Structure 1
Amino acid sequence: MNETSGIPEIVKISYKTGDYVGEAFERDDRRVLVKVLAVLQHPTQGDLHSSYDPDAAMFHERRALSYTEKVWVPIQTVQPYTGAIPDYRESLQTALGIEMERIDRLKRWSERSLENLESLRKDYGM
């Protein structure tokens, strides 16, 4: 795909809560076909309609797109990417680690909040 088409060859895309670097190589009026080269943000786990609900009826496991996997994405989700393209395996490991740290931080926040609420319950005489 060349610059005259309006879409740069190396792009950043968002797809099902994950962000990726890829190569755009085909398009139509609505979408772009992208070959995945790196993971920038790992997809979010769980039910997107019931955020942070561990008891949701459908708690989805979302895998990152694979190296060189091809995916059609809406044209409005495609942005130019000008940085160095990270190694896929390293980028997946980094993105997974960041997502796991985010969830661990949320877990620790939840535990601290429960401790505070328990203390408040006692203070309220309940």
Structure 2
Amino acid sequence: MSKADVGNEIVKISYKTGDYIGEIADRDERRALVKVLAVLQHPTQGDLHSAYDPDAAMFHERRALSYTEKVWVPRQTVQPYTGAIPEYRESLRTALGLERERVDRLRRWAEKCLANLETLHKDYGL
């Protein structure tokens, strides 16, 4: 891909646990500068080194990259994207909603686990 192709190549990237659709704005031999056009997956919250630990020392709030925000990513992580490009705010709304549903499902799973463990605690006579 030559420098002449920069600015018209639509790609999918992963960046700090989020997935995005973007446009190549620049590149060098190691990296690509990508301008964000849409959000595919909202970044995960919390400490990635202590997954699902609400008591982690640093519980991070991760925001999605902004519309037209530019970010450098390793070239090997850039994938071609050929689908429709959704409008940014709608893609953000959808990605945030899906992430909230995923976390809610985990919360409900944890509550059922706790209920089962309480029953087992009683069954064990502890």
Deviation at 1:76, TM superposition (A): 1.0
Q: Would the aligned equivalents of 1:3 and 1:9 in 2 still touch at CA under 8 Å?
A: no
User: Which residues of 2 match residues 1-126 of structure 1 at below 5 A?
Assistant: 9-126=9-126
Cα offset, 1:41, TM superposition: 0.2
Deviation at 1:12, TM superposition (A): 0.1
Q: Take 2:52 and 2:2, find their aligned partners in 1: how far apart are those partners?
A: 42
* Displaced runs of 4 or more, over 3 A: 1-5
Structure 2 unpaired stretches of 5+: none
Calculate percent identity across the aligned residue pairs: 79
- Distance in 1 (CA, whole Å) between partners of 2:122 and 2:55 is 28
Number of aligned pairs? 126
SS in structure 1 at match of 2:111: helix
Structure-2 separation of matches of 1:82 and 1:39: 15
Aligned-partner Cα distance in 1 for 2:33–2:88: 18
TM-score, normalised by the number of residues in structure 2 = 0.94
Q: Deviations over 1:1-50 (max 9, x none)?
A: 76986xx7000000000000000021001100000000000000000000
Gaps of 5+ in 1: none
TM-score when normalising by structure 1: 0.94
